[in-house]
Chain A
Amino acid sequence: MAAQERSVRREHGEVIVEARNLAKTYRDFWGRSKKVALKPLDLEIRRGEIFGLLGPNGSGKTTTMKLLLGLIFPTSGEAFVFGKDATDVSKNERIGYLPEESYLYKFLDAEETLDFYGRLFDMPPDERKRRAAALIKRVGLERDRKRQLREYSKGMTRRIGVAQALINDPELVILDEPTSGLDPIGTREMKDLIIELREKGKTVIMSSHLLADVEDVCDRIAVLHQGELKELGRVDDLLRVTDVTQIRAKGLSAAATEEIREVLRRHGGEDVEIGNPRTTLEDLFLDVVRDTEARPGRRARQG
């Protein structure tokens, strides 16, 4: 009865993904422990959020994803997706997965690739054709749709990888290092796509070791290190430095700035710093690219 209630809560409530004491140890041929990839992990991911798995290489991000997808089996604990055991393939009807490197069949072209994966979802021909055409357009591969994937650049491969992950209009999208190997424009497009998915009500789980990517798009994150969960919470909450006050204003004179500094000093403020805020390098690069595309031939600004 309790299991049934939990199942109902998982299915109709907020929780899409649930891990309980989920752990993975890789063993050698003789069953001896070789590497502890994931220490017991408790996790809940809710409907409609972008959840980031953050951590350095080898921290257990990909292992967690593979466990949730049923690609590997847990050593202990259990994982549920849409209320079903992670090894139950029927859950995959509602999941889209983009692996770290788009592991696709290189001898197929873009249309054949999407048609093949559409068939795996048992889609009727008309729907396959319609969805494939829409996705090819969405990821900008219309001109290259008849080229074999072996001829694709890394960015193009990534885009067709995203398209195959979305062929079934999934409720849950799992993206492993989605911006890995992409140029800044590709990275931005990928981030825009992830945010677009959230706006459509999808749940997204992504892993990355690129802090800026995670910070930009994730609602909640889990920080993993050496297979262990170190931090879990909302990005805003985790990044807020509660004992530091930042003042940002536009159009102040030098006198007004000195007056504010004096006020802060009077109230016991330490290491007072007021100055112009910095933009990120990513934003600067994108501004330059956009500016160059808008006005071709313009020389770079001298610093």
Chain B
Amino acid sequence: MSMKKYILTRIFTMFLVLMITLLITILLVGSNMDTILKQGVVFQVRSEITENPAIAESFSSVEEFEMFVQDQIDQRNKVLGLDEPWFSPQRIGVTMYKILLLDFGHATFLTSDEGSSNVKDIIFEKLPRTILLFTTATIIISIIGIFIGAISANRIGSFIDRATSSFAVISSSFPVWWIGMLMIFLFSFTWQIFPARATPDIPSSDPSYIGSLLYHMTLPLITIVMIGFGSWAYLVRNFMVGIMQEDFIMAKKTIGIKQKKIIYSHALKNAAPPIVTILALSLSGSLGGAIITEAVFDWPGMGRLYFEAITVMDLPVIIGATYILTVFFLISIFIADLLYGYFDPRVRTGA
């Protein structure tokens, strides 16, 4: 399989996944969504009539008036296509098309900090904050992880190697959000260094907002890094150990190249492909995990938005956030796949 064909099949799969995700989401929340939309229309028609008393006065009986209102609602529904059942292919198609173009409609309850109820505005306000927190965390984690992993691989069986392995195993079995609760307990209750809620308390237009945001970010950042870097170091170490057993390294050893040089230049270079691939994957994985972590720290990003949307059942926001999360997830899987296929041509042939 050529690289081009490989990329094309991957893109096709990803697009298919995106469509399936959207379809499932719409099917799951469709009937509720339908009720909400219809209620919206009824509310709109009624408020238009109350604003204009002349319409109500022109009718002689209540029945006639109600008939007129119902007629108006039906007409409006027809224009919007709401007269068809929510599961009709036509309506699902329209909804999916709209979502593909990032038109998520208006939120039922939630608003952005500026007060806009447009789901797109809300999401694009929260998204950068999530990326800021989790991308920073992932980058720090990978730097520390690669560094410690290489050191451990250099001294197999040493104290640092055993400490890294045990720390990796232990830290990976603690839920990040629980460590988050502990960190809040330690650093906001026992020693009052960091705020317990990560949402800055000044408006985003204030010039000192960025500084405040960074200060509020510290505690979640430390927590994520603390829990994450152990397993990274362990992973890097295992790759390196695997590579150190390959023939070409053995050959380099026999011709007398120093162990240190072999580790840091030759082995690390060869371990790079899987490491880069995992980096791409963990960037997306961190976005998914953000939902719970942000809920603990009250970080005003996508995760907390998602959580809030679920709590009040704000369906347009749920659909929009799921879509954006899925897109990010798929993009990073795609990049990981490409990198992997690029570094390791065997993958492309499907062997």
**Binding partners A and B:** no
Residues of B within 8 A of A (CB): none
Residues of A within 8 A of B (CB): none
